[in-house]
Amino acid sequence: MAASSIEGVGATALRSVLHRIQLAADRSGRSSDRIRVVAVSKIKPVSIIREVYDAGHRHFGENYVQEIIEKAPQLPEDIEWHFIGNLQSNKVKPLLTGVPNLAMVETVDDTKIANLLNRVVENIGRKPLKVLVQVNTSGEESKYGVSPSECLELVKHVTLSCPNLEFSGLMTIGMPDYTSTPLNFSTLANCRSQVCEELGIAEEKCELSMGMSGDFELAVEMGSTNVRIGSTIFGAREYPKKQ
Ligand SMILES: *Cc1c(COP(=O)(O)O)cnc(C)c1O
């Protein structure tokens, strides 16, 4: 049997996403080498993650601490896990001890959580943890993330006061309904320009995590280095209905 005929739906969808990223990168004169796809596997079973892993993918993202600490030990250790959900103080230690191969926390949005991550990394003696500062680019009250005007202060704090964290860039979720507008993406890019200029960081050293299933091509055209893609790879998520 030809390999393609036994390939699962997740692996096929991943290849299609990679192809669309390549086209978007070509359109905007970028190299796709610097664009990472984080396959967002929240509420999806380990078996389908394994299938996408077997197709060669290594970057996966989860939103819930309880879920990632259950799944990660059932999957290969060379997966690079990204935590992309809101992180509560009392979950920092379980996350870091439960997922030794956690590669990045994308959702640092205040000094308290940064300090705590920094301290726990030191206490458990793991290697420095890559972090992104989450920016609220929509201005909606309900969203997590610092406002664009507070971004520089938090990045300064992480780079100057958190030696066990490796500041790696900025992240945004566009609108409260998880859609994004070009303005959300350009706001994040402007935050990067300001941070890099003020702190003397090369722009290549400051990632932009933006773009999800509905808008990743636009995000790539606007400079994303890290797209977070769930439903287009794994299929629609079906949450249990609230009673
Ligand atoms: C769920 C989620 C995604 C993926 O969303 P899709 O629209 O399914 O691609 C990306 N980023 C964050 C922060 C998420 O919570």
For 114-136, how does the pLDDT look when each residue is reduced to its tens digit (9 = 90+)?
999 999 999 999 999 999 999 99
Total count of domains within the chain = 1
CATH number of the domain where residue 78 is located: 3.20.20.10
Query: Whole-prediction pTM value?
Result: 0.94
In a domain, 240, yes or no: no
- Testing ligand 1's pocket by substitution, the residue of 14, 17, 38, 40 carrying the most ligand atoms inside 8 A of its CB is 40
In a domain, 61, yes or no: yes
In a domain, 239, yes or no: no
Instruction: State yes or no: pLDDT of 3 exceeds 80.
Output: no
- Testing ligand 1's pocket by substitution, the residue of 228, 233, 234, 239 carrying the most ligand atoms inside 8 A of its CB is 228
Q: How far is the CA of 108 from the centre of ligand 1 (A)?
A: 17
In a domain, 183, yes or no: yes
- Residue 14 C-alpha from the chain's centroid: 16
In a domain, 115, yes or no: yes
Share of the chain above pLDDT 70, in %: 95
Q: How far is the CA of 230 from the centre of ligand 1 (A)?
A: 5
In a domain, 241, yes or no: no
> Which residues, including other chains, have CB under 8 Å from residue 197's CB and lie 6 or more apart?
none
In a domain, 134, yes or no: yes
Comparing 81-95, 111-125, 228-242, the range with the smallest average pLDDT is: 228-242
Question: Which residue range(s) make up the domain with 145?
Answer: 2-234
* Cβ pair 203, 159 in contact under 8 A: no
